Structure 1
Amino acid sequence: MKAQVNGTSRDLADGTSVAAVVSLVGAPDKGVAVALDGAVVPRALWDKTIVPDGGVVEVLTAVQGG
């Protein structure tokens, strides 16, 4: 299946979870937020939330600075 991950089209296996996508992009363990089709996915649901075909996933990391 195809999904958009951080603006890039990716081929993902059927049943790919949000947690797997976070791992795929190499995001750190802390300071990460995920949106699926424009809605924030709570960290507690990452393993249970499946990315649909054509889904849009944004993996965001916090950046320190000022």
Structure 2
Amino acid sequence: MNLTINNEPRELRAGMTCRELVSDLTGRVVTEEGRAEGGGPLGVALAVDGSVVPRSLWATTELADGQQVELVTAVQGG
């Protein structure tokens, strides 16, 4: 399937979940609850087609061909 992730086209396997995508993009293992394995913070938020997907739904939310995904990383500072 083809998605646009942070304004860049990407080809991914069909049926991928938000959790799997976040894990792939961050290089970290993400739990069913949407947290980093070991309990550390991920520091990211995910929106699909302009709507934020709650972490609690990442494991069950499948992505579909043509969707627009934004992965936002929190940074410290001001």
Once the 2 structures are TM-superposed, how far is the Cα of residue 26 of structure 1 from its aligned partner? 1.5
SS where residue 26 of structure 2 aligns?
coil
Once the 2 structures are TM-superposed, how far is the Cα of residue 23 of structure 1 from its aligned partner? 1.4
Q: Percent identity?
A: 45
TM-score calculated relative to the size of structure 1: 0.89
Find the structure with the greater CA-based Rg.
Answer: 2
Deviations 1:3-60 (A, max 9, x none): 0111111111110111111112116642211000000000000010111100111111
Give the aligned CA root-mean-square deviation in angstroms: 1.4
Where does structure 1 lack aligned partners over 5 or more consecutive residues? none
SS where residue 23 of structure 2 aligns?
helix
Where does structure 2 lack aligned partners over 5 or more consecutive residues? 29-35, 37-41
How far apart, CA to CA, are the structure 2 residues paired with 1:58 and 1:22? 10
